């Protein structure tokens, strides 16, 4: 049996210029990049997979871009190369630095139209960069739409733009995915409401850009803003809920809630880590108390203890199996 398999592999190698081999080779192993958010990495079984397309969807101002920023930060910590495609023209150097990103090592591209962005993605995927973050798919407008709008404005006509953007993506995604062996592609997109929909099913939610993005994404994270975090009467942040709507490498329909402070520009990573440790049974709950290191703590006391003892935080991380 093994001899026959070896013969078949050699036979194909003569004519095929692509990977061919048995499924136990290192080339077929899933390589992951952590998001840097412990609770999210836990439900993702370690992070985002190289060579795949990942989609972060949600309403406006829910934290989609910020999750992409956290992934950029983690890739840079591993000396990886990151590209940020700024379709929405929202890149803010100060905000990115506040999020822990070395902006001197970040490649920023501001395409004038969608095809430029797709060409840039193809170039950098072929070069094998570690991460491409696209913000957002909705902002990548095809050149055909721009030219039609300009022409019709001059002639006083209304432009007909039926599925032009969807067609652009449906042609681009198969090409990008077929050549991508190393790059983590993370794209954000906005949810839009379709009132009524088919057969009067109420309010439906869709993303601009057509159906191809749903099919080719290995992961779709739905980000939602939940309750506010307050200091007195002042709103200082909110709880960000991340739900895995689709996931090909971890259980879907699981979710985590992460506290986000919009004054510091930081997620409460320590709270996220404590929540993961509780779920894993490393930290035990006793009514209003938490038991860790053979001591009982109130949650804020335990957080402050970890802040004062960074070495203990690393010990906790080592105990968690992502």
The answer to whether 134 and 87 have CB atoms below 8 angstroms apart is yes
Q: Which of 309, 299, 249 is nearest to 271 (CA)?
A: 299
For 104-124, b/e burial (b = at least 16 CB within 10 A) is eebeebebebbbbbbebbeeb
- Distance, in Å, from the CA atom of 36 to the CA atom of 249, rounded to the nearest integer, reads 18
What is the pLDDT confidence band of residue 261, given thresholds at 50, 70 and 90? confident
Q: For residue range 291-321, what is the model confidence (pLDDT) as tens digits?
A: 888 888 888 888 889 888 888 888 888 887 6
Give the model's confidence band at 197: pLDDT under 50 very low, under 70 low, under 90 confident, else very high. Answer: low
CATH of 269-322, one of 3.30.250.10, 3.40.190.10, 1.20.1050.10, 3.30.413.10: 3.30.250.10
pLDDT tens-digit map of 91-107: 999 989 988 899 999 99
Architecture of domain 30-267: 3-Layer(aba) Sandwich (3.40)
Strand, helix or coil for residue 136:
coil
Output the six-digit token pair for 76.
């840079």
Where in the chain are the domains?
30-267, 269-322
Report the C-alpha gap between 222 and 64 in whole angstroms: 9
For 99-121, the DSSP string reads TT--GGGEEEE--SSHHHHHHHH
User: What distance in Å separates the CA atoms of residue 63 and residue 260, rounded to the nearest whole number?
Assistant: 9
């Amino acid at each position: 049996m093994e001899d026959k398999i070896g013969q078949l592999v050699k036979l194909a190698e003569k004519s095929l210029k692509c990977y061919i081999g048995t499924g136990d080779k290192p080339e077929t192993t899933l390589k992951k990049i952590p998001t840097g958010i412990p609770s999210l990495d836990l439900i993702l079984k370690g992070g985002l997979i190289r060579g795949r397309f990942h989609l972060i969807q949600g309403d406006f101002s829910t934290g989609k871009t910020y999750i992409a920023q956290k992934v950029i930060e983690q890739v840079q910590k591993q000396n990886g190369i990151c590209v940020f495609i700024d379709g929405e023209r929202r890149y803010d150097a100060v905000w990115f630095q506040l999020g822990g990103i070395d902006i001197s090592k970040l490649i920023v591209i501001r395409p004038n139209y969608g095809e430029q962005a797709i060409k840039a993605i193809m170039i950098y995927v072929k070069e094998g960069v570690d991460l491409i973050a696209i913000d957002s798919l909705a902002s990548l407008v095809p050149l055909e739409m721009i030219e039609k709008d300009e022409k019709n404005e001059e002639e006083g006509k209304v432009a007909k733009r039926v599925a032009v953007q969807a067609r652009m993506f449906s042609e681009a995604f198969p090409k990008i995915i077929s050549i991508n062996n190393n790059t983590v592609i993370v794209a954000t997109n906005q949810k839009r409401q379709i009132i009524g929909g088919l057969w009067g099913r109420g309010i439906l939610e869709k993303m601009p850009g057509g159906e191809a993005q749903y099919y080719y994404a290995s992961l779709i994270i739905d980000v939602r803003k939940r309750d506010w975090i307050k200091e007195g009467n002042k709103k200082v942040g909110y709880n960000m809920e991340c739900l895995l709507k689709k996931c090909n490498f971890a259980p879907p329909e699981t979710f985590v809630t992460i506290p986000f402070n919009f004054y510091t520009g930081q997620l409460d990573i320590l709270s996220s880590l404590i929540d993961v440790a509780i779920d894993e049974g490393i930290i035990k709950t006793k009514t209003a108390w938490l038991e860790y290191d053979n001591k009982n703590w109130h949650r804020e006391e335990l957080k402050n203890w970890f802040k004062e003892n960074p070495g203990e935080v690393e010990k906790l991380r080592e105990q968690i199996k992502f």
